[in-house]
Structure 1
Amino acid sequence: MTDYLAVNRASWDERAPAHAASPDYQVERLLADPARLSEVVRFDLPRLGDLTGVRGVHLQCHIGTDTLSLARLGATMTGLDLSGASLAQARRIAAAAQTPIEYVEADVYRAAQVLGTNGFDLVFTGIGALCWLPSVVRWAQTVAALLRPGGRLFIREGHPALWAINENRPDGLLVPDLPYFETAEPLVWDEGGTYVSTDVTFTQNLTHSWNHGLGEIFTALTGAGLRVTMLIEHDSVPWEALPGRMVRGDDREWRLTERRERLPLSYTLQAVKIN
């Protein structure tokens, strides 16, 4: 298998400045209002609870808007990402917000090695992250290694049923043409553009990704010594995942225009480290 880390890092490095400048990430609005939270964090605010005094790490933090939001809720945050260009934007945003956040450049699977073990009260993973990892078992083991006993994982992610839909079918049908379960080999994509509004033209367009079934995620976490305490499936996502077939609500979440009960689009999961 081609070095997926190098391939994906090149794509993220090129896109990070465009993401930070795009109105979809709302960086300027986030900086203008010290009480403002990212849309991803705000969506799960009732489920996150009080973060005052919590030591947290945000895995695959990208440009750090969710990381900053968690810090604004009272957590002492560390962000980790494989993209140096993404972290440069994250550090700039945190500095402009006058919020101390430590950012570390590393692959997710090296997180416990570079950050230490059993030291975090919270591991947070935002939406659109797990698909870049080849093994959900290794991810769960990493989460468990980072958490102190009693610490919790909190993740909102695109639903694997959504990731299995081929959005480019000419007939427009919502059909699971792509893998739902984790596969040994990645899905290889060579596509320009990105998921936010931007006029930038990109040249690093090759990426490798994997899907992970909901049962596989659950089993990986329990096998790593975590107890799942919450699993909520949602009919919405924070980006137009199926272009032309979705409508944006007042909460800025995207849902299917027709018969939205057909397909789960995202989920929120919480798990606690047992010992």
Structure 2
Amino acid sequence: MINNSVNTEDAAEAAALNRAMWETRARVHGSTATDRFYDVESFVAGRGTLHRLERELAGDVADKDLLHLQCHFGMDTLSWARLGARVTGVDFSPTAVERARRLAERTGLPATFVEADTQRLPDSLAGRFDLAVATYGVLCWIGDLDAWMRGAAMALRPGGSLVLVDLHPALQTVATLEPLVVDWPYGGGEPQRDTVTGTYADPGLGLPAQDVVEYPHSIGEVVTAAATAGLTVQHLGEHVAAELDPRGILPQGPDGLYRLPFGDSHLPVLYSLVARSPQPHTTS
């Protein structure tokens, strides 16, 4: 549960806290026998990790240059490589980047991994990519949403697209369903300080308590940031069913999909955004 809203949280301190937490997760994810989320050995043997939603939005990625933002230790990045993309993954965790490079070696898949904050992408990535992709649990870690969108736009070639799939703000507000506890702002971007003691990948794993800072962003704020960065929004989807339960709180239906019940209906659990970098003007 969120402890308090910190309006004056120093950005550098917040980034250091979050990096420390993701360093811990990068060390343990896929490394324990009880990890229910990552299965490195089956991945090395050929299992893919991408879901239908992001695959459909990205389209055919064969022979395209793809930038994966906040790539963790590279399983999704390398799954895009298996579909034929030339991939570069970016993450701010040194441990995650090193593990991603080792995983690429094990799979024999060509990939580049860069250690960088996605709010401050290096100039060396500018204008190099047909696609920038970010999925699941992305923007809640981003304090400067405008900088994140500017970085994604900077990395794209003219006509390139950003594909973003993330947890819907409606789901983010919910702490528990039974009883219903709502303890998170819908948007506004104000830093929210919390203490975490575990990980979604292995809830029973005993990890030391670590402070983190997260940021709530509304759908409107995300779309506005994309537009302000010069991107043209081509698709905005809100999805009431998902193939995964990113928060670990949703009931699973007979069809295997997860939903957020709301009376006799459902609230969206994911949203998706596709935004394109403008094509250069041509003169006749």
Could you say whether these structures have the same fold, taking a TM-score greater than 0.5 normalized by the shorter chain as the test?
Answer: yes
Higher helix share: 1
Q: Which runs of 4+ in 1 moved over 3 A?
A: 40-43, 248-251, 256-261
Structure-1 separation of matches of 2:222 and 2:207: 32
User: How far apart are residue 53 of structure 1 and its match?
Assistant: 1.0
Is residue 2:133 matched to residue 1:120?
A: no
The code of the aligned residue for 1:235 comes to V
Note closer, same or farther for the CA distance 1:248–1:66 as it changes in structure 2 (3 Å cut): farther
Specify the code of the residue in structure 2 equivalent to 1:159: H
Q: Could you say which residue in structure 1 is the equivalent of 2:62?
A: 52
Provide the secondary structure at the position in 2 that maps to 1:9: helix
Report the number of matched residues: 265
Aligned equivalent of 1:183: 189
Are the aligned partners of 2:65 and 2:131 in contact in 1 as well (CA < 8 Å)?
yes
1:48 CA displacement = 2.1
Q: Which of 27, 36, 39 is equivalent to 1:17? A: 27
SS of the aligned residue for 1:166 comes to strand
Q: Could you tell me the percent identity over the aligned residues? A: 35
Name the Cα RMSD after superposition: 2.1
Structure 2 residue matching 1:268: 3-state secondary structure: strand
Which of 71, 85, 102 aligns to 1:92? It is 102
Query: Any unmatched runs of 5+ in structure 1?
Result: none
In 1, are the aligned partners of 2:174 and 2:180 still within 8 Å (CA)?
no
Q: After TM superposition, list the pairs within 5 Å mapping 1:230-245 onto structure 2.
A: 230-237=235-242, 238-239=244-245, 241=247, 243=249, 245=250
Q: Secondary structure of 1:247's partner?
A: coil
TM-score (norm 2): 0.86
Q: How has the CA–CA distance of structure 1 residues 155 and 181 changed in structure 2, closer, same or farther, with 3 Å as cutoff?
A: same
* CA shift for structure 1 position 199: 4.6
**Matched ranges for 1:174-213 at <5 A:** 175=182, 177-184=183-190, 186-197=191-202, 199-213=204-218
Structure 2: runs of 5 or more not aligned = 1-8, 280-284
Residue 227 of structure 1 corresponds to 232
Structure 1 residue 134 and structure 2 residue 134: aligned? no
Quick one: which of 44, 53, 68 aligns to 1:31? Answer: 44
Pairing partner for 2:274 from 251, 270, 274: 270
Q: Would the alpha carbon gap of residues 54 and 240 (structure 1) be closer, same or farther in structure 2, given more than 3 Å must change? A: closer
Amino acid in the other structure paired with 2:218: G
Describe the superposition over 1:26-75 as per-residue Cα deviations: whole angstroms up to 9, x where unpaired. 22211112xx320x444432332111111111111001111011111111
Matching residue within 173, 176, 181 for 2:180: 173
> What is the DSSP-based 3-state SS (H/G/I as helix, E as strand, rest coil) of the residue aligned with 1:270?
strand
Structure 1 length-normalised TM? 0.88
